[in-house]
Structure formats: C-alpha cells, structure tokens
Amino acid sequence: MLFSYNWLKEYLQGKTPAAQKVADLLCFHSFEIEGLEKKGNDWLIDIDVLPNRAHDCFSHIGIAQEIAILTGNKFVIPKTTLKIKQGKVSDLLALKVESKDDCPRYTAQLISGVKVGESPKWLKERLSLLGLKPINNIVDITNYVMLETGQPLHAFDLDKIKGVQVQSSKFKVQSERKEIIIRRARNGETIKTFDEAKTEYKLDESILVIADIEKPIAIAGIKGGLETGIDKNTENVLIEAANFNPVLIRKASQKLKLRTDASNRFEHEITPNLIDFSQQRAFDLIVEIAGGVATGSLVDFYPNKVKERQIELNCEYVKRLLGLEITKINIEQILRKLDFSFKRKSNHQLLVIVPTSRLDLQIEEDLIEEIGRLYGYNNITPVFPEVVLKPSQENQEFIFENKIKNLFKELAFAEAYNYSFTPENIKAIFGFKEGELIFPANPMSTLNHYLRPCLAIHLIKNAKENLRYQNEVRIFEIGKVFLGKEKKSLGVVMAKQGLRNKEQGFFELKSYLEVLFNVLGLKVNYEPILEHNYLEAGCSAKIIVKQKEVGLIGLVKGKINQTKENIFIAELDFDFLQSQGQMKKGFKEIPQFPPVLLDLSFLADKSTLYSKIEQVIYLAKPAFLKEIELFEVYSGKGVEEGKENFGFHLTFQNPKATLSLEEVNKELIKIIQNLEKNGFIIRK
C-alpha cells in the first residue's frame, strides 16, 4: 500500500527522520517495505501492511502513529468542529437497517448548499500521487478521508434519493422525507455503478445494498450507484460513513469481481468507532472547500457500541515468554508509547485497556508480542531451549499409503496425481444428480467448478490419453474425493490395445485387487451390478468386505470411453482399507497332521452368488473345515433348466490330531443339512 512521506509528517510534531530512516525503522519493527521512490519533493513509501494490522494501518494516520511510536515524535491529528444547523433531521431522512449483523453501524450527515467543482491543487496532487483519479471536490474529499483515516465514505446526491411525502412537524407543510434502507439485495435487482464504464451488476440475496424506497443506490462497502452520484448540479449531499460485515463484503466483492479501496478495508474489518472522527473530518473539509452547512444532527444507527478491551498482563509471564529480563518500568513505558492506558493490580499484574482500533490484540500473548516487537527482537539474546526432545511418532497413515503405492508399482502400475476439481459437464456424462456435487464458494478455475466426486473421472481420461502412445496402460491413484463428505479413495485403471475379451480384462484387473486384499488379510466377495452410471452391467461388480460395500470394479461404458479399446477400472474406499487391513506378517507352523479332502456337488439357481453358497456352508458351523474351493460350475445335459451344478472341494484338518472319517462325515452332514434347508439340491 502506498503512503506519502510528506503527508505522514503532518501528523508528527518535531523533526521527523528522513524517508529512508523511516522506511528502515518500519521494516525493522513493523512491516516490510516493498519500495521507496522519490516523487518531486515527496517520497512514496510502499508498505506491505500485515493482514492483522489492516484494522488500524490501512491509513496515513495509522502509519504515522506507528512511526511516532518508533521515533519518539509526538503524534497529532487535525482538530474537527461540526457546526449543526437547527432543524429536526427526522423530517428530512429516515434510516432503516434490516440486520445489525450485516451493518453494525451506519451514520449519515446531511449537508446543504454545497458547490461542486474542481478540487484544490494540493488535494488533486495528493490523490494522484497515491493512484486515485480526482473527480470533483466532494468525491475527492471522501477518498482523501479514507486514505487519511482508513474509514471508507460515500457521498450521495440527496435530491436524487427517493423518499415519501410527510408533513413537517415545525412548519406544518408537505415535504419529501428521504429514506435510506440497508438491506440484502433481491434476486434479479441490478445497479449501475458510479464509474467511467457505468457497469451494470446483477445482484442477489447474498449482497448487501444501500437502497431508497424504490431500488438499490449503492453496493454496500464496495461501490456507489450511478443514479445518486455527485455531479456539477448537486447542491445537497448525504455523507455516509458506515461499518459492514467483513465476510459479506469480501464474498460480494469476489462474486461481482469488483474490488475497490473501500472493499479492501471493509473485508479486513475496521472498528465502528473510527466513524466518529472520519465523519467530522469529511464535514470540515467539505465546508472548507465546497461550502455548505450541516442540515440537522448526525443520523447514527449504533445499537451495540464497541468498547475498549481489557486484558490482564503478567509482567513475570512477559519475561518468561520473551526469554529476557525486562523490568516492569520498561513494560509500562512501551504500553504508554502504544497509547494503551493501564491499571496496576499488583506488583506484577497490570490491567491493560486496548483501544478499539487494535482489533488484532485479543489475548495476553498478543500484548507480549507487541512489547517484544518494540523492545527489539535484536535485543533478545538467543538461547537454546531447555526441553526434552523426543523423536516424532511415525505417521501410520503415511506409512500405510506408501506400502500400497509400492505394491502397485511392483505390479507394474504407474502412479497418477490428478487435479481435485472437475468441469460442470461431468454431471451429465457420469450421471450425477443435481446437488450431489460440491461447488466451492471460491473455485480456483472458471472451467473446473466442482470438487471431484470420484477418481474414475480423471483416471479414465488418463487411460484414454496414454493409449495413444503405448499398447498397455496401468495407472493407479490415491487421493481425496468429495461426494457428500470428504474421504480418501484408491483408483486403479487398466487398458490394453487389442483386448476385446471383456471377461479376460475384468478378471485380470480383479487379480491385481486380489493381491492387494491378500496383503491386507481381507476376505472379499463380489456382487454383480445390474445398473450403473458409468460401468457396464454384466461386466462389473460391487466389492464387499465384512458385509459392507467398499468399492466397484468393472468395464467403462462405451459412451464414456469413446475409444475402440476396453477400459477397466476399480475404485475402493481407502480409509476403510486402512482401518480394516492388517499388513503385519505372522508365522504359522506347518500342520503335523494330514488334511482330509472331500468333494461336494449340488444344484442351485443360476442367479445364486458364490458369496451366498459360502455363507450357507459356514453358517453350518462345521468343525475343522479349513478351506472351501469352487472347482466346477456346469449347466446343460442332465441339469434342470434354470439350475447350475456347483462342485466344491472341502478341506478338513485338525492341527492337534489325525481326523477320522467318522469325524469328517459328522461335519459334512451339518453342511448338507444346511444347504438343503436353504433350497440347494445335493447330488448323490
């Protein structure tokens, strides 16, 4: 932010250090200096004001006060006098604020009999030096006061504001009472702003406006409207000085893509108490330069007055936190420099009263930081901290993720890192419903609006692009997805040129997943998918672990693939895999006693899933059953239509003794009975 050295000197009594010295002091104790440039008989200082000091230092007075603290110069500000013309202001203006949260304070001063014209040379030069274009004396004064105090102001042509006819309480005659309403815009309302382009903006309910009884006349805290702007015919003005919700102003500024000096100050938050001096200062300058008198008293909506904060400060804690021996006298001297009043509560305890302009000072540690800053960090002797250093704990999530990545790299997969945002057209392409996708309040790109709901969107694109240059593509990605809530997913995509057999591709990708599940020690079942947005029915499946759907695997539909090659993809809930998987290896002795192998055949409906058969067998609770293996599925001659013959190997083994045939048959009967109970037909 640019500041005039000559202007800053006007608030400092006594000999002020040279511009370079001032810049050095500010850089050492307060803010970084971006540049120092000679402009005629003045110096232009470009100061990078920290966000936490924007409340009080986005102004010449604020920076001058900071310089006075560092140099010892006495800080002085212009005196103000507000001459009030007799008259009841309620006959002239009605003010309505719909929400005190949107507008904590609003003031309006009516000034009549002004003469609008060109500003004095000194005023135009000062504004031009700081990058503002002079317009006319009234508008230039509001801009000047903003640069001086940090409080944005706006001037309306009072006669252009629409009002209602009322009867004067004093003269018993009809007159128009102007109305100012601070409210949210209505959807579809528009406003042309007071600038050279006369830009028209479309408003909605998220934007705060200043309105009369008919329409918006200004975008609150950002820009004034064209229709009520000051021109050469203006005689009566309304000077607005207000305080608006910083979040509202920032969001509106971003939505409208309209950033101004006023919005920059409001969105960083300023104290409502700054209005008092700024409003009076503007009035004095208008009377001095443009003439006019105040009409009625100041209209002031301020329901919840902001009071000075009181913070307890322990002098011993100051020493401990800063790591230096600083006396209580030195601490009190620094507080006086900062213009903070205080009360002594005990030998080591002070009650510090912080001015409302210092919104950055909320707790005791904030005060200690200020003390250290002005004492000089260069005066603090560096010492090694006396702490017990412990090695940091391993990040188990990071370790697990790296192991999974290494596993897929060993399987000849390449890792992808894709953008977390997706374009709007993926809703239609991938079949997501309205409201399912998350739209950030401030998207980083105009092309990619939404947070990605799945990894498949980008992985399919990766596969299509890579197939142009290589015969086989194997890619995986671990990343966050956002569908309803944020979670981490594992996506795996595979494609080969010339692979026309859908089943072969499906089972090859499935085999890679089986390696993963074996490493994690997870037992997996698959259920066919009958319908899906981007996977082809008949060649895709749900992945079930512990009776929970944790992912999908299948062939990408042709309308999404749009290549002659088949692309197969799988996506898994990575958070679930991490919470349920066990990658620790254990040792198990080789059994000393031989297993007993039996074959079992039975008929079942063609629609019967393997997982259903497995569940029925184990629900019989057979003792010593170590493993079951499907070795045959047959339909045709000798098998009833609509049925299939399933053949299973059953392996029984007792780790402590050799099993007898009687023991095995006893357990086999349990299995057969349970199968028959569930509608399966045992083949003899």
Distance separating alpha carbons of residues 114 and 290, to the nearest angstrom: 5
Report the pLDDT value the prediction gives residue 82, as an integer from 0 to 100. 58
Report the pLDDT value the prediction gives residue 170, as an integer from 0 to 100. 53
Report the pLDDT value the prediction gives residue 125, as an integer from 0 to 100. 95
* Coil/strand/helix, residue 297: coil
Structural domain contains residue 590: no
Q: Is the pLDDT of residue 172 over 60?
A: no
Q: Two tokens at 505?
A: 């591709």
Are residues 30 and 175 both part of a single domain?
no
Are residues 156 and 296 both part of a single domain?
yes
Are residues 129 and 277 both part of a single domain?
yes
Q: Which residue has the tokens 């297993």?
A: 595
Kindly report, residue by residue over 482-511, the tens digit of the pLDDT.
988 899 999 999 998 877 788 888 999 999
Structural domain contains residue 586: no
Are residues 426 and 455 both part of a single domain?
yes
Q: How many domains does the chain have?
A: 5
Structural domain contains residue 471: yes
Are residues 289 and 319 both part of a single domain?
no
pLDDT band for position 260 (cuts 50, 70, 90): very high
DSSP 139-169: HHHHHHHHHHHS--EEEEEGGGS-EEEEE-T
pLDDT band for position 25 (cuts 50, 70, 90): very high
Q: Is the pLDDT of residue 611 over 60?
A: yes
Are residues 297 and 313 both part of a single domain?
no
Are residues 603 and 576 both part of a single domain?
no
Kindly report, residue by residue over 75-113, the tens digit of the pLDDT.
998 888 755 554 567 778 999 999 999 999 999 999 999
Full-model pTM: 0.64
Kindly report, residue by residue over 528-557, the tens digit of the pLDDT.
998 888 999 889 999 999 989 999 999 999
User: Which amino acid is residue 233, in one-letter code?
Assistant: N
Are residues 417 and 503 both part of a single domain?
yes
Structural domain contains residue 591: no
217: domain CATH number is 3.50.40.10
Shortest CA distance to 373 belongs to which of 26, 74, 35? 26
pLDDT band for position 583 (cuts 50, 70, 90): confident
Q: Which residue has the tokens 């079930």?
A: 544
Structural domain contains residue 175: yes
Report the pLDDT value the prediction gives residue 604, as an integer from 0 to 100. 93
Are residues 321 and 284 both part of a single domain?
no
201-219: average pLDDT = 95
Domain stop point among 580, 608, 643 = 580
Structural domain contains residue 476: yes
Kindly report, residue by residue over 37-46, the tens digit of the pLDDT.
999 999 999 9
Cross-sheet strand order for the sheet of 625-634: 625-634, 643-652, 596-605, 681-682
Q: Is the pLDDT of residue 337 over 50?
A: yes
Share of the chain above pLDDT 90, in %: 70
51: domain CATH number is 3.30.56.10
Structural domain contains residue 388: no
pLDDT mean across residues, the chain: 90
465: domain CATH number is 3.30.930.10
Are residues 362 and 402 both part of a single domain?
no
Instruction: Give the annotated binding-site residues.
Output: 360, 366, 369-370
Domain stop point among 319, 351, 379 = 379
Q: Is the pLDDT of residue 131 over 50?
A: yes
Domain of 169, in residue numbers: 84-301
Q: Is the pLDDT of residue 642 over 60?
A: yes
Domain stop point among 353, 379, 405 = 379
Determine phi and psi for 254, rounding to 5 degrees. -70, -40
Instruction: Give the annotated binding-site residues for Mg(2+).
Output: 360, 366, 369-370
338-360: average pLDDT = 92
Are residues 43 and 113 both part of a single domain?
no
CB 164 within 8 A of CB 197: no
148-158: average pLDDT = 96
Report the pLDDT value the prediction gives residue 86, as an integer from 0 to 100. 46
Total residues belonging to the chain: 684
Are residues 421 and 518 both part of a single domain?
yes
